[in-house]
Amino acid sequence: MRGIDTQVRKMRRRIFREVASLAYESDNLKDDMEALPYKIVDYDEPVVRENIYRERAIVRERIRLAMGLSLRPENKVSHLTQGLEESNISEKYYEPPLMQVIPSACNSCPTNIYSVSDKCMGCVAHPCHEVCPKGAISWKDGKSVIDQSLCIKCGKCKAICPYDAISHQVRPCSQACGVGAIEDDEYGRAIINNDKCVSCGQCMVSCPFGAIADKSQIFQLIRAIQSGREIIAQVAPAFVGQFGKEVTPEKFKKALLMLGFAEVYETAIGADMGAMTEAKHYVEEVTTGELPFLLTSCCPSWSMLAKKFFPETIGSISNALTPMVATARKIKEDHPDASVVFIGPCASKKLEASRRTVRSDVDFVITFEELAGMFEAKGIDPSEIDVPVEMNDATGAGRGYGVAGGVASAIEDVIREYYPDVEVNIEHAESLAECKKMLLLAKAGKKNGCLIEGMACPGGCIAGAGTNIAIPAAQKCVAEFKEAAERRIPTPDINQSGVE
């Protein structure tokens, strides 16, 4: 549903805009926050739910998450503004769980059901009945019927039906989750098993009811800007195209400066550092047999997947800093008193920034979707900016990190340039399901000698949970941005000291 302006997306954008407006404009925060659900749901007849009371209940929880607060318990009295004092500050780290299911918004979708649709022709061959191993399919009024108490969900009936008349219904959030973290509560509503979740956010963008949302730091970020602190933004390579076709990188940088950021860096600078570092690791550790294979480190959900489900591979995860952290450390070398905000497509970067070893480097993380709410709250349209500011910090290699395969490609280019006698074997996987398959093969010794890139989101960072546009359009924009770089790959003198 990426790139489609659905009611879910419109509501998310509205919430971010209104919460940003609270930070910018409110003189009486508690009262204004309490009034906000009535401002957003200001009509008498329901628009997307069966009644306006449920619509407001869902909006209330979305407001809390957008303020950086947790959902309220369903069975205890709790005001909308409870805990507000803890969020009305200029610095607040994300507290897990990041991804949360709003119970009142969940539709209790079927988890795994095969059913016969009205396309059934009642054919004489009745192949669905013949292939069913449990005799769960019978005829009624000339049509096939599946007895759910007997069905074992094997899917043979669906595969054999000549009219595609058998439907397989699964929860969209569960289908999108590659680690099986979506489970059921006692009412059949979705819940997230945080022991399994790697915070990629694909469940959130796949839920057609908008029942899953993540926490935001936009309120605290605005408070930090208002405090007069020096706040410097670093932007992930996937930003190009996210705010409209007319918004060039130079216009985008100017728009960020208009929001109050003191300076803007490309996160691709850190990607350049990472490409050089991981190329060196591959040459010195994999080709020598010290490590069986090398796993790239830039996608936090990929790293978390390896650590949670394949602990045997932990030693093969590159110790190179992620581009976000490497760039943040570069910024703080240049501006020792500054705070850093990472602006990108990724939900799991929010938890990465909350790690004890990273907290001093990255102070805030927001997504492109959240940034759009800030632009709207301030009345800034990046496409209308007529005095752009130059942005040309990184190489094509670093900018290519925004697309699946781009990390491995950048490292391969560096190896071929600076280690021409080394043969490099590249593999990459995108989506958590494919990443799991890749790690299984690596664990079994079938990927020895390889440099393996993993991306939790299908398509790479351009498909992250906090993006604004369709994946193919984003892929095209990143490719053009990469080609526009003045340098193809980083030079050996770039700072490679960034390792964990």
Residue-level pLDDT at 63: 97
pLDDT in tens, 326-377: 999 999 999 999 999 999 999 999 989 988 778 789 999 999 999 999 999 9
Is the pLDDT at 140 greater than 80? The verdict is yes
The C-alpha atoms of residue 468 and residue 5 are separated, in whole angstroms, by: 9
* Residue ranges of domains in the chain: 7-103+179-219, 112-170, 230-483
Domain spanning 230-483: CATH 3.40.50: yes
Residue 258 pLDDT: 97
**CA geometry: angle 357, 202, 261, nearest 5 deg:** 50
Token digits of residue 84: 């507000």
Mean pLDDT of the chain: 94
Q: Worst-scoring range by mean pLDDT, 88-97, 349-358, 367-376, 445-454?
A: 88-97
**112-170, what's its fold?**
Alpha-Beta Plaits (3.30.70)
How much is the pLDDT for 1? 67
- Please answer whether residues 459 and 471 qualify as being in contact, where contact means their C-beta atoms are separated by less than 8 angstroms: yes
Q: Residue 134, exposed/middle/buried by CB under 10 A (0-12, 13-18, 19+)?
A: exposed
Q: Which of 443, 439, 463 is nearest to 453 (CA)?
A: 439
Q: List, in sequence order, every residue forming a beta bridge with 263; answer none if it has no partner.
A: 232
**Structure confidence at residue 335 (pLDDT):** 97
Which pLDDT band, with edges at 50, 70 and 90, does 230 fall under? very high
pLDDT per residue as tens digits for the range 44-71? 998 889 999 999 999 999 999 999 999 9
pTM confidence score? 0.93
The amino acid at residue 15 is I
